[in-house]
Structure formats: C-alpha cells, structure tokens
C-alpha cells in the first residue's frame, strides 16, 4: 500500500492517510474523524492507542490495529526514505525552527513498543518526547496579542513563532473566545476541498458562538494542538494564500448549511480578514486568516441555530452535508448539544439573551475617556526626566513619508542635535522632510551602502570620510526618486531581499562602533502607514542597543501605531512599548510642546492647552479672527521683555493695592516671584470648588454650566474671577468676553476656541468664559446660542463644553448666593478672620517695601 501511495509515510497528506486507513479495514466513521482532525503522515507517526481512544473516541480493537499496522509500515520502509525530507538540499521548516527558536520540541507520549521501533527515526526528526507529566518548555517563543476584534481599517501584523493566548471559552460574551486551526495541510488542497474544510470549521465555530451569544474569532494558520511537532498551542505559523477569494467565497456554504435564518448567519459572521505573518528569515508571504463572529442581540434574540456542516467525501469525490446539529461553545471546544440536554438548552434561551443584552449595554456604556498626560510623557521621554533636552546628546531619527501639514510643524526637529536620519520616503529630497530640513541645515546624502566599512579603514577614518559628526547624515533607506544612480525604490519583499543586509550592517556600525551606549537616543517618528522594512529597523536597533531604554516611538495615528505595536511588543513586552510610545498627539502639538523644552528657543509665541494635555500654537491671525474674546494663553505675558518687567513691576503692584484693576501681568509677576503673591479671597476657593465639581464627569452633566459671582462694587469680585481664569489657563481654554459684542458672535468665537487645533469635536477641553457685568437676558441668549451649536455638532450628552463664569455687581450678593448655593458665590467688603490676617500681613509687607 505504501508503494502505491508513492512517498514516505511522513509526507502523507490527510487524504493519503484516509486511503491507507480504509485499506487496513478501519471503519469509515473513524476514517472521517481522523481526517477532520487533520491527521497527516507526520501526525500518524506520533499517534498512540491512548490518544486514539480518548481523543478520537475509538474502540480498543481498531485503535490497536492502527498502531500495529503503522509500526509494521515503519519497519517495512527503508531508513533512507524516512530521512529523505531532512537530507534534502534545502532546510525544512522544522530544521529552520530549531535554528531560529532553539526550542525543545514536544509530542504526546507513544507506547513503548512504537517508541523503541522508531527511536532512530525520532532522533533524526524530533527530540525525545517527554512523558505526559513533564512540562513542554519553549523559552524562546514570545507572547503576542490578537488583532483588535471586529474593527475596520486596522493595520496589523503577526510575527511568525509568536504565541497567542490559549483557545478560550465564552468569558463575558463581548470579549471574543478564540479557536485555532493550523491548516498546514488543508491550505495546500484544491479549491473545492479547501473551501469545504474552511467553511466547515468556520460554521461549526460560528454556530457554537451564536447559540451561546458569545463573540468569537477563529484563527486559521495558528497551531491548535500540541500534537503539532515542535510547535506550541497558539503558535503563529501562517498559511500561503494565493487567492483570497477562495476563503471569502467559502462562506457561500452558509446558504446550503442552514435551512433557515441564513441572513442572520451572514450578519453575524464577518468576512475573512487576512493578517500578514512576518518572518525575519523568509521572504515567503503567509497569512493568518481570521473570521470574527458577532451575534448581536438584535439579530439572534430568541433563536437557536442548527447547522449541516459541509464535508468533502473522498469516496464520492464531492461535498456532502452532515446531519443537522445544534452546536454550542463549551470551554475551548465547540460541541453538539446532546438530546438529553436539548430541552434545557431551549429553555435557557431567554437567559442567554438577557446576558448578551446586558453585556452589549455595558460594552457601549460611554464612560469618560481617561486622558493620559501625553504632554508630560513626551517631555519626560525626550529629556530623560530632565527639565530640558540635553544639548550633548545625539539623536537618530527613523521616519517614513510626511504629509504636507506635518512638514509645517518640524521646528522642534530643526533644533535637535541630529546625528543621522533613516528615511524611508523616496521623495523626501524633493518634497518631504529632507527638503524642508535642508532649508535650515546642511546634511550629507547617503544610501545604506554608504555605511559599509572596508576592512582596511578604521572607525575614525570612516567617520571622518562621511563627516558624521560634522553634519547630519541623511540615509535614504529605500532609494531616491531624484537620484539617477542605482537607487530606485522597491516593494517590501524586494527590499528585504536586497537591502536588509545593508540596514543591519549600518545599524550595527552606528550602535556598536561609532556612538557609545547612552550618548544617543533613537526616535521612531511614524507619520504614515508602517511597512515591514521599518519594523525590521526597529528590531535591529533594539538588538544592537541591547534594550529599549533609549528608543522612543512618536505616532499621531492609532491605526499606524497598531502595526508597530503588534511587532514591537514581541521584543519589549506590552508595558515597555506603551511606556516608550507617545500616541495620539498631532504633529503641531508635538512641535509646540517640544519647543518649550529645547535649550534654544525661537521667538516667543502663544500656546493653548489641548485635550491630550500637551499644547498647541495659537497663531496670531487665528486669534484675531476670534476678536470678541480676550484669550488667555498658557504662556500669557511670557513675551514681556526683562527690561519692561524691571521697570514696571513696582508700579503694577502699587497700583493694584491702591484700588486699581488687576491685570494679567500682575498675576505673571506674582507667579514668577517678581512681586508678592496676589491674595486668594475665600470666594476664590468657593469658585474653584464649584469649577472642580463641574469638571468631574457626570452622566447628567449639561453641556453648558454656569457659575455666578455677585460682588459689592470695589470688593474685588473681578480679581477673584480673573484669578480663577489665570490659575486654570494651563488646563482649560480660558477667555474673557469683550463688551458690546452680540451673544451670537461670542458663541461662534467660543466654539471656534474650543475646537481650535483639535481634530475631534467630541474630545476637546471645556472653555472657561468670563462674562463681566452683563444682564441675565444676555447670559440666557449666550447659553442658548452655545446649546444650539452643540446640538448641531451632535456632541455626546454628558460632555461638558463650556463654563460661563458670570461676574456681576450686586447690592446684596449674600442673598443672591443663598438663592442658588450650588451656582452662586458672593464677594463682599466684609473680610473673614482668615482674610483679615492675610491682608494685614500684606499691608505690612507693602509698607516696608514701598513708601506710602
């Protein structure tokens, strides 16, 4: 029989194993079961009777027959034929895995007889198998996260030999359960067989998930069993995909496999997604094919789904359909519901529906976004925890294509001590970052080949030859469109074949021979879609720098970061990647934030706080277009000259304490200790408490909140109001309404201030708006105008957008405060005991400092 099959047992396909099983008299039900479990020749070599009886549910007689006949077949084959695969000219996948992973290979235990008979074969193919009590240790295989569930437009990548978490059952119904299928053999089948196999696995899993109302993902190209020699459960291998439509069209079996509710299944089973598998040692393209299952309660409510799974029958050479079955997900497996459990399963439909409905409600319950302080994070990473960027430190920039808007915000790069730039944009010299950089600095143009050092040249001679410490070295990593030499851009796979070695050599040369460890920092600035060559660059830097301490990643787009993150986590771990990355800041915000911590500053400019806690530049022409507002900036008065401060600081303080109106410069002088502090009245703390309460997230929060200050004329109410604005200018957008402008115009400008330089109207800082001495009708009009604007923009309910701080004179402020204690604050001429002590001390200090 083996002669008829024409090749060694180890190389048999599932179909060939099925043919052999029939030839030795095994019942068709067992043949089909082994085919379903993807038992090929290599797996047949590893089988034992215990596995056949416990996993395949086979009776003792046929199990013993299969093992006996298998062992006879092994003994009848020449040893050279068994070894044939391993002695071929090219390395096998298994050999390459041994080299790459240095892992301990595991198989399930075999009987003593078969182990003894095949010991010589096992020494060639596999390391000795441990007993079932022994732990299979694969120390070099890194964990990784799955692709984000059911999200469109996600740029994600898997890395070969990394390991997903084990297959799982239903957890909370919206967190997907997972199932893995290797398809190592199935992927090589013809179209008809492959589609039947793929459809069977997907629809089996999907039906189980839908019936228990759980989200799920089936991953094809991921090892699903420890029976797979040399792999661990969940290990990413990938499968070749020559025609993606084979997998997409396989789901057309839905119409044949379900007698009813076909449309429901179509709605719950998402189209296949093809996630590329990156292999550092190969240029062959492989994928993990994934199908997400989303049984939304609006679709599956009150339903139980039965399926007739497709199965390709070798005997008839056509696809037949199994008996209709109701399946459910039980732990990490999908199993049919037994007849005795069927009644109870139907009775519990309402319970499962209720659980799914509650899970969906909790999933989409909009809690407030926890906003990380990205401004501080960026500052700390760039300065290594210091106040300013170190002047002596060298920086290496790795980047890709810039969009035009980002090129307008690179001032911070122009002030960096740049050693070199690894630029993956072939157009950079003509229209990208390089062209803009050259407007301000000199740079030497290099290719990756430029960093190949000849054997007779010393490092000093090499650095001198390339002027490495004299001017920035601009390295075009993927050719130049403006260069007529042999520097044409190429696709990813061609790059890996032709340029990968040059990159590895250049990175190693810089990190190990040119720049001492700790004297430089590498910035990966991801401004467009991340491709594999850039991922390879990260790996080389991480390896040659012996860690992540001096590598940071800056990326505005969460989508672009996903692919980077999924790759980098395997080397660094999730926590380190997150801690070393700044994701979500616009380039304009990055530019403004970093310029504030650079030793060399450009001319003074105005900045506003942004939602992610950094800052953005307030352009003068934009400020002037919001002319009904006096906008208070983060660095208000910073532009004041030192000479003016020295000349006027005494006059400003004296004028205020003699009854003059407070101005912003007075607060600035007090904050910078040029003059004494501005006393904080009790009312200041009352207003601050109301403001802080308003800023706390509340589902019932109105989009426009009001705080009213009522004050005796000349009692300092305006000072309290402006003090509140001054002390919140770094956390909120703050402005004072100028008199005589209509409520409609003020509302228009206030909305523009809120959304200025923010990309999402749902995620903006609230505007704290001071309105002085206006009547109630004006305030009501302004509130109405702002609420109309919010409704037009469909801002989510519960989002605080504006705080109207009204400051009005009153002859009886305490009565007005009593009318609405949670909204109104009073300021009177009468001082509390604490205020008296503060003003007494201040008066004494002023009398000592200035002549009365």
Question: Which among 192, 505, 477, 205 has a CA at the least distance from the CA of 329?
Answer: 205
Average pLDDT of span 343-351: 91
C-alpha 173, offset from chain centre: 23
Q: What is the pLDDT of residues 251-274, one digit of tens each?
A: 999 999 998 889 999 999 999 999
Residue 658's pLDDT is 67
Residue 162's pLDDT is 87
Q: Are 564 and 524 in contact (CB under 8 A)?
A: yes
Q: Is 742 helix (H, G, I), strand (E, B) or coil?
A: coil
Average pLDDT of span 133-137: 34
Share of the chain above pLDDT 90, in %: 40
3-state SS track over 154-213:
CCCCEECCCECCCCCCCCCCCCCEEEEECCCCHHHCCHHHHHHHHHHHHHHHHHHHHHHC
Residue 179's pLDDT is 92
Q: How many angstroms separate the CA atoms of 653 and 837, rounded?
A: 19
Average pLDDT of span 85-105: 35
Average pLDDT of span 79-103: 37
Continuous segment of H or E residues that includes residue 466: helix 459-466
Share of the chain above pLDDT 70, in %: 86
Cα-based distances in Å from 193 to 200, 208, 219, 318 = 11, 23, 19, 9
Residue 100's pLDDT is 39
Q: Is 152 left (phi over 0), alpha (psi -120 to 50) or beta?
A: beta
Cα-based distances in Å from 15 to 20, 62, 287, 541 = 9, 19, 24, 46
Q: Are 552 and 581 in contact (CB under 8 A)?
A: yes
Burial of 470 (C-beta count, 10 Å sphere; 0-12/13-18/19+): exposed
Least confident segment among 311-315, 484-488, 683-687: 484-488
Q: Is 584 left (phi over 0), alpha (psi -120 to 50) or beta?
A: left
- Within 8 A by CB and 6+ apart from 232, the residues are 106, 136, 138, 141, 163, 223, 226
Task: Quote the pTM value.
Answer: 0.59
Residue 803's pLDDT is 96
147 or 835, which is more confident?
A: 147
- Within 8 A by CB and 6+ apart from 639, the residues are 604, 606
Q: What is the pLDDT of residues 367-405, one digit of tens each?
A: 555 568 899 999 999 998 888 888 789 999 999 999 998
Q: Is 68 left (phi over 0), alpha (psi -120 to 50) or beta?
A: alpha
C-alpha 47, offset from chain centre: 42
Q: What is the pLDDT of residues 558-606, one digit of tens each?
A: 888 888 888 888 777 788 888 899 999 999 999 999 988 887 665 567 8
- Within 8 A by CB and 6+ apart from 271, the residues are 248, 251, 291
**Per-residue buried b or exposed e for 238-272, using 16+ beta carbons within 10 Å of the residue's own CB:** bbebeeeebbeebbebbeebbeebeebbbebbbeb
Q: Work out whether strand 325-330 and strand 333-336 pair parallel, antiparallel, or are unpaired.
A: antiparallel
Q: For the residues of 546-565, what is the DSSP string, one character each?
A: TSSTTEEEEES-HHHHHHHH
* Diameter over CA atoms, the chain: 117
């Amino acid at each position: 029989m083996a002669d008829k099959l024409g090749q060694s047992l180890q190389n048999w396909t599932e179909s060939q194993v099925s043919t052999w099983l029939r030839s030795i008299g095994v019942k068709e039900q067992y043949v089909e079961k082994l085919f379903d479990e993807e038992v090929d020749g290599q797996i047949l070599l590893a089988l034992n009777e215990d596995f056949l009886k416990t996993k395949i549910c086979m009776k003792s007689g046929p199990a013993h027959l299969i093992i006996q006949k298998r062992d006879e077949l092994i003994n009848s084959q020449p040893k050279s034929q068994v070894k044939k695969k391993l002695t071929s000219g090219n390395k096998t996948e298994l050999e390459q895995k041994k080299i790459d992973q240095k892992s301990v290979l595991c198989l399930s235990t075999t009987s003593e007889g078969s182990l003894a008979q095949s010991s010589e074969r096992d020494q060639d193919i596999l390391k000795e198998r441990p007993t079932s009590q022994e732990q299979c240790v694969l120390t070099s295989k890194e964990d990784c996260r799955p692709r984000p569930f059911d999200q469109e437009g996600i740029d994600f990548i898997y890395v070969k030999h990394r390991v997903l978490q084990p297959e799982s059952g239903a957890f909370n119904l919206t967190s997907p359960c997972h199932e893995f299928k290797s398809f190592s053999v199935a992927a090589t089948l013809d179209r008809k067989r492959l589609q039947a196999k793929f459809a069977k696995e997907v629809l089996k899993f999907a039906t189980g998930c839908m019936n228990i109302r759980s989200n799920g993902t089936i991953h094809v190209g991921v090892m699903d069993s420890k029976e797979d020699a040399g792999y661990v459960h969940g290990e990413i291998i990938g499968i070749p995909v020559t025609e993606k439509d084979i997998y997409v069209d396989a789901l057309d079996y839905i119409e044949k496999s379900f007698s009813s509710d076909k449309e429901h299944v179509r709605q719950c089973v998402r189209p296949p997604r093809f996630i590329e598998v990156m292999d550092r040692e190969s240029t062959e393209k492989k994928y993990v094919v994934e199908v997400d299952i989303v049984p939304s309660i609006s679709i599956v409510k009150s339903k139980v789904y039965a399926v007739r799974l497709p199965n390709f029958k070798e005997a008839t050479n056509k696809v037949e359909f199994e008996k209709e079955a109701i399946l459910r997900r039980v732990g990490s497996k999908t199993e049919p519901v037994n007849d005795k459990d069927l009644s109870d399963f139907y009775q519990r439909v309402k319970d499962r529906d209720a659980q799914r409905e509650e899970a969906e409600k909790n999933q989409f319950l909009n809690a407030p976004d926890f906003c990380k302080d990205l401004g501080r994070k960026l500052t700390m990473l760039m300065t290594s925890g210091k106040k300013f960027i170190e002047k002596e430190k060298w920086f290496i920039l790795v980047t890709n294509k810039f969009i035009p808007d980002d090129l307008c915000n690179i001032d911070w790069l122009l002030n960096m001590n740049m050693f070199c730039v690894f630029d993956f944009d072939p157009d950079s010299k003509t229209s990208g970052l390089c062209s803009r950089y050259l407007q301000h600095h000199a740079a030497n143009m290099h290719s990756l080949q430029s960093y190949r050092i000849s054997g007779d040249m010393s490092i000093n001679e090499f650095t001198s030859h390339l002027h490495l410490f004299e001017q920035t070295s601009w390295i075009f990593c993927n050719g130049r469109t403006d260069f007529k030499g042999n520097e044409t851009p190429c696709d990813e796979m061609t790059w890996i074949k032709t340029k990968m070695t040059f990159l590895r050599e250049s990175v190693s040369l810089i990190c190990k021979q040119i720049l001492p460890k700790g004297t430089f920092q590498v910035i990966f600035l991801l401004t467009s879609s991340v491709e594999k060559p850039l991922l390879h660059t990260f790996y080389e830097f991480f390896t040659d720098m012996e860690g992540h301490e001096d590598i940071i990643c800056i990326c505005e787009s969460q989508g672009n970061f996903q692919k980077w993150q999924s790759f980098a986590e395997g080397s660094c771990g999730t926590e380190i990647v997150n801690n070393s990355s700044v994701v979500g800041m616009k380039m304009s915000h990055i530019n403004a934030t970093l310029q504030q911590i650079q030793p060399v500053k450009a001319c003074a400019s105005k900045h506003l706080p942004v939602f992610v806690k950094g800052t953005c530049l307030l352009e003068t022409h934009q400020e002037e277009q919001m002319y009904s507002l006096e906008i208070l900036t983060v660095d208000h008065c910073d532009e004041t000259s030192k000479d003016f401060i020295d000349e006027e600081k005494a006059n400003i303080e004296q004028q205020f304490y003699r009854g003059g109106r407070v101005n912003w410069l007075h607060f600035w002088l007090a904050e910078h200790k040029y003059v004494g502090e501005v006393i904080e009245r009790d009312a200041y703390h009352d207003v601050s408490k109301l403001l802080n309460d308003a800023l706390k997230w509340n589902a019932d929060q109105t989009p426009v909140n009001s705080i009213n200050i009522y004050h005796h004329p000349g009692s300092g109410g305006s000072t309290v109001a402006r003090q509140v604005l001054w002390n919140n200018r770094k956390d909120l957008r703050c402005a004072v309404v100028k008199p005589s402008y209509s409520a409609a115009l003020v509302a228009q400008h206030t909305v523009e201030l809120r959304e200025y330089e923010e990309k999402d109207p749902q995620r903006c800082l609230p505007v704290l708006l001071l309105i002085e001495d206006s009547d109630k009708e004006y305030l009501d009009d302004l509130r109405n105008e702002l609420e109309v604007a919010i409704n037009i923009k469909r801002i989510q309910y519960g989002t605080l957008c504006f705080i109207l701080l009204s400051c009005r004179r009153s002859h009886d402020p305490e009565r007005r405060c009593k009318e609405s204690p949670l909204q109104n604050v009073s300021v009177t001429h009468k001082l509390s005991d604490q205020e008296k002590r503060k003003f007494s001390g201040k008066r004494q200090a002023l009398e000592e400092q200035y002549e009365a």
